[in-house]
Amino acid sequence: MATAVTTAAACRNFIGGKWVESSATQFAERRNPANTDEVVARVPLSSRGEMREAIAAAKAAFPAWRETPAPERGKILFRAVRIMEQQKEALARLLTREEGKALSDSLGEIQRGINILEFMAGEARRLNGENYPSELRKNFSYTLKVPLGVVGAITPWNFPFCIPVWKVAPALVAGNTCVLKPAELTPLCAIRIAEIFAEAGLPPGVLNMVLGSGEEVGDELVQHPDVRAISFTGSTEIGCQIYASGARRLQKVQCEMGGKNPVVILADADLALAVQSVLFGAFASTGQRCTATSRVIIEESVADQFVSTLAERAKAFKVGNGLDAGIEMGPSVDENQMNSVLKYIEIGKQEGKLICGGHRLTGGAYEKGYFIAPTIFDHVPAASRIAQEEIFGPVLCVIRVNNFDEALAAANSSRYGLASSIYTNDASRIFEFIDRIETGITHVNSPTVGGEAHVPFGGIKDTGVGPREVGHGALDFYTELKTVYIDYTGRKRESSNY
């Protein structure tokens, strides 16, 4: 099998089952964010024409893939699962080199991707419809799930392995062909995914991948008339544009976008447990995850104790090159993201009380990377910018309240609605929080981050539109429902109710 270049030489596109040298004249140089001396990839800024070639390849491959029995499609995915399991350590190291997160976080991401792929492979034997009793004698009615055709997947840099897998897997199981447009910052994981599916026996053209900018190849994927659906993960601004574009052309669109996830801590909570969970939720993956804990909303009576303990632990958090042993947090993904976080930190110094962090880490092992110290602001107003806008970095805001009702109001004050958490031992407060919190995911006495392969993932409000991703329900987005009526009377129908 031909392989893609995964060194500092230019990466290639995957079109029609072949690795194709891009005709691009411009390239984005991708460097290891923990050591900018290391060039990990040169990413071609491919053209609209190259994206059109990929879409044409997917369209040509669709009829045969649609006719492939679903269990046979599932067997190919199961083979890909086994390959990923065998290469788990190498995949995690590759992820850390190009994205920066600590190796422990990368291993967790790879495993989650494997779990999702394994679950979806099994769904190939469960593409069930429903039978319905007919009002008429000797009539049989039922439903079928049928594939859409060519679907596009646009994926972000912060989970460059897991998110492409959780979009591609249900698309393929359902019988669609797919064109993947990964983030420019993290091409190598997407390349390995395409290689693994090809090695597992996926027919040419069923999965295609084009590298390049969102403004060029991403826009072509979104606008092309042969693309029946788009699944997007990224910023709310871009997601809204994609959703509006799809509406004009009756294209199915699914968007998972921003988050500003609150943890509510009541006075009766296990504070030691809450500290451990908030520390992990806020600073693991450098805070660069849509489910990261970005707001702690805590009752005043226990706030001093909580903040003091949390700050002590945050100061000891081990920051560095994610490939080094014992590292708990890596760098920002690139200089632009680092500068964006630093800008918010300066805003935060005017809006709250800086407790720890608040600066770039320099010198020694930090000199050639984009490292920021874990940062905590206390006494932050719920309406302030750092409490309302997504920072996507290791920055945590502490908002103090007097009671549960104030805590719930502060938690719901965000435009986003992805994940939330509450720490308390009061059962009535737990269930009231579950009823009233405006998020698509909520946790009780556990962090805002995390999820399982068979459980739906997604948010409400400005966080998401379209059916949920992951789990059995993910197939709803990648299929259409066909209703079938079979009349076996052999006679003309004498009357009708419709």
Instruction: Give the position of tokens 């190259």.
Output: 50
Cα-to-chain-centroid distance, residue 95: 15
CA nearest to 165, candidates 96, 217, 95, 223: 95
Question: What is the C-alpha to C-alpha distance for residues 261 and 79, in angstroms, rounded to an integer?
Answer: 36
> 98, 118, 216, 256: which one is catalytic?
256
- Catalytic pick among 290, 299, 328, 390: 290
Q: Are 157 and 185 in contact (CB under 8 A)?
A: yes
Nearest to 261 by CA among 365, 387, 159: 387
Asked whether the beta carbons of 400 and 303 are under 8 A apart, the reply is yes
Q: Which positions ≥6 away from 21 have C-beta within 8 Å?
A: 10, 12
Pairing of strands 416-417, 18-20: unpaired
Residue 255, token pair as written in the block = 């968007």
Instruction: Tell me the three state secondary structure of residue 28.
Output: strand
Q: How far apart are CA 357 and CA 10, in angstroms?
A: 38
**Is 356 among the catalytic positions?**
no
CA distances from 14 to 108, 163, 210, 298 (A): 27, 18, 6, 50
How many other CB atoms sit within 10 Å of the CB of residue 126? 11
Distances (CA, A) of 477 to 28, 35, 169, 460: 33, 40, 12, 16
Residue 256 bears catalytic tag? yes
Residues involved in catalysis: 256, 290
